Structure 1
Amino acid sequence: MRIAVVGASGNIGTALLRALQADGRQHEVIGVVRRPPPPEPPYDAVLWHALDIADPVAPERLAAIVAGVDVVVNLAWGFQPSHDPAYLERVGVGGTRAVLDAVRTAGVGHLVHMSSVGTYSPARSGQRVTEDYPRDGIPSSPYSQHKAAAERLLDRAERDAGEDLLIARMRPGLVLQRAAGSSLLRYGLPALVPAAVLRWLPLLPLDQQFCVPVVHSDDVADAIVRVVEQRAGGAFNLSAEPSIGRREVAAALGAKAVQLPAKVLRGAADLAWRLHLQPLDPGWIDLAFGVPLLDTTRARDVLGWAPTVDARRALGELIEGMRDRDATASPVLRRRSTREQLTDLLTVGPITRRRKS
C-alpha cells in the first residue's frame, strides 16, 4: 500500500514507522512534517516532504503530495507555544481541515485521524466510556477543545462525502514510550530543571482522585496498522490496564505520595505558567482530572487488537526515558539539553511563546 503519514516523526509517528516496517511489510510510506528527520532508522525508509500544516497553502500542497495514495494517516498536532493558543488551533484544527481538504481534492478514500481521550466530555473519576460518549471536551483545556473541534470537522466531512470517504478515529489515552522521554521533558519541565531531578524526587504531591488511561506508543501504532490494512472506519478507544493513579505514578518515581487537592495543584500550575516558570497551561490539570477511562471492546472485536504492554510498564519506560533523556534522530524527539534550552530562553524567549519546539 501507499500510505501518507502527516506528522510522521513524533511520538506516535515514530512508533508507526517502526510498525509499518516490521514483519516484512512492504508498504510505501510518504512522510509529511515541518522538519524532516535525518536518514536514520526508522526514518530512512520514508519519502519525506517538508510542510507546515498550519501554512495557508498547506491544503493545495498536501493534495499534490497525497495524490494516488491508498490512505492518509493524520498525526499532526501542536503542544507549544502554550501562550499562543490561536497558533495551536491553526495546527490542530486548521491542520485537520487542511488534511480533509487535501484528501477530498486528491480523491483519497480512507483517512485515519489521531484523536484523543481528550475529545470526550468530563466524566466522574474512574468512569469508563465507550465511543458513543459525548465529545465536547474539557471546557478549560485548549488541547481538549481543539481535539473536540477537529472531530466535529470529521463529522461534517463524513456527512458530506458519504461513501466516498471512510474515516477512522483513534482515541488513545496518554501515549507513552521510552524514546519520548526527552521530548516530554521539554514540554513538562522548566528549562532550568535538569532531568536528574527525577531520580531524587522524594515526594509526589497529587490528589488521590487522579486516574487516567495510558497506552504504549507501539500498541497505538499496531492499532493504526490494523485499521489501515483492514480498511476499517469509525472510532476506536485505545488503552491498557490498569488505569494509572497516584499510587502507580509514585511507585514509578520511587516517591512517597502525599495528598494535594487538585484545586491547589491547578492554582500553583496556573501561576507558574502565567509567570513562564513552567510550560504546561493549567488546562492540562483539568484534563488529567476530568477525562474518563476507556472501554476498548470495539478495538478488540473489530480490529483484533489488544495491548501488549501494560500501563504500569509503559509509565515506567517513559520515566526511565525521561531520567536518561532518551531520544531519537527526529527533531521532535531530539535529546533534551539544559544548555540548549537556556540558550533558547535567553535568545528567542520561553518555549511557551516561541514556535520552535
Structure 2
Amino acid sequence: MTVSAPHLRLPRPDRRLEDYTPGPPSPYRPNTDGLKSRVAMAAAHVVADPLADINPREDVAIDWDATMAFRRHLWSHGLGVADAMDTAQRGMGLGWDTARELIAKSAAEAKAYGGKLGCGANTDQLPDDANTDLDAIERAYEEQCAYIEDCGAQVILMCSRHLARTAASADDYIKVYDRVIGRRDKPVILHWLGDMFDPKLRGYWGSGDLDAATETFLGLLETHRDRIDGIKMSLLDATREIDLRRKTAALGIRMYTGDDFGFADLIKGDGDHHSDALLGIFDAIAPAASAALAALDAGETARFDDILAPTVPLSRHIFKTPTWHYKTGIVFLAWLNGHQNHFRMIQGQESGRSIQHLAELFRLADQAQLLADPPLAAYRMQLVLAQAGIDG
C-alpha cells in the first residue's frame, strides 16, 4: 500500500503559510555500471553523535556507523568520496585529531567497498593563533600528506589558513607548495577555496587580485604538472574556471569544478573542454548527479540537462550567502532522506540557517526529485516546523 505524504504548511518570505504536499519519490537508483566520461567526487559530510555527553560547542563526537554508511551510499551511485574537507566541517568544528580518525576509517571502508577516496591535507594541527613560520607550515602539511598516503588515499592539498596569515608574498606560497608537492609519491589534487567559503583565506596565492593570484597558481601547476592530477576550483566564478581549464588541459591536468552555482554547464563542457567534478553539492544530490552523468556517458545530453537543471536552483539556495553555512543544508537533506536519524551537527551548526531557508530547501529538493521517501521527509519537516511554532 502506498503511503501518501502528509500535508505541510511551509512559510513564505512574506510570512504567509503555504499549503504544500510533496510529489512522488525520487526515481533515481544506485549505479552499478560506474561512470566513464567524467571523474566525479562528492565532498562528504560527517554525522554527529547526538547522544554523546560532551560540550557541543567545544568537543566533537561522530556517529561513525552513520558516517561510513553515507560514504557507502555515495560509492553506490558511482561517485568518489572527497573526505575530511570543508563539507565535513573541516575548519568549522572538525579538527585534525578527529580528521585523522575519519581518514583512517574512510580509507578502510573504501578498500573494503572498492570506492575512490581522496582526503584533505591541511595545517590545522597547528594552533589557530600560533605564530608560525613557513617551515612549521611545511612540516604540518607534510605530516598530514604522509598520513593520508599511508592510509592509501589520494591527497587533496587544501588551502591553509596559517599560510594565508603568514605568507608575505606569492613567493612564500610557492616555496611551501614546491616542497610539499615535490615529496609526493602519487599525483595530488590542489584545492583553491575562495574566501566566500572561508574569509580567512582572503588573498590566497599572495594577492587579493584574482588575476595575479591565478598567474601564481598557474606557474605552480606548470612546475609540477607531473605530480598534479587536477585542481579543484571553488571560486564560484565560471568564467575564470573556463579560462583556466583551457590552460590546464594543455598541461594534462584535470579541472575539478567546485562551482556549486554553475556545475551543470561546467561539467557538460563547451565542446572543446569540460570540467570533472569535486563538489559539496554532490553529497546532497548524489542520485540525480549519478543519473545525469550516466546519461552523459550514453550521449544523452538532453537527459543530462533535464536531470541536473532542477538541482541547480537547489544548490544555489544551499550555498547562498553566507556560503560557509552550506553544510547545514547538506545535513538537513541527508536527514530528510533517512541517511541519519537526527538533524544535529558538530558544534551546533544546525542553527546556521533559518526556518525560511529550510522550507525553501524542502520545496526545491522535492521539485528536483530528490526526496527518496516523501512521507518520511514530510514528517521530519513537520518536526522542524513545529519547533518554529508552525502546527500541521
TM-score normalised by L of structure 2: 0.30
Q: Which structure's residues are more often strand, by fraction?
A: 1
Q: Which structure's residues are more often helix, by fraction?
A: 2
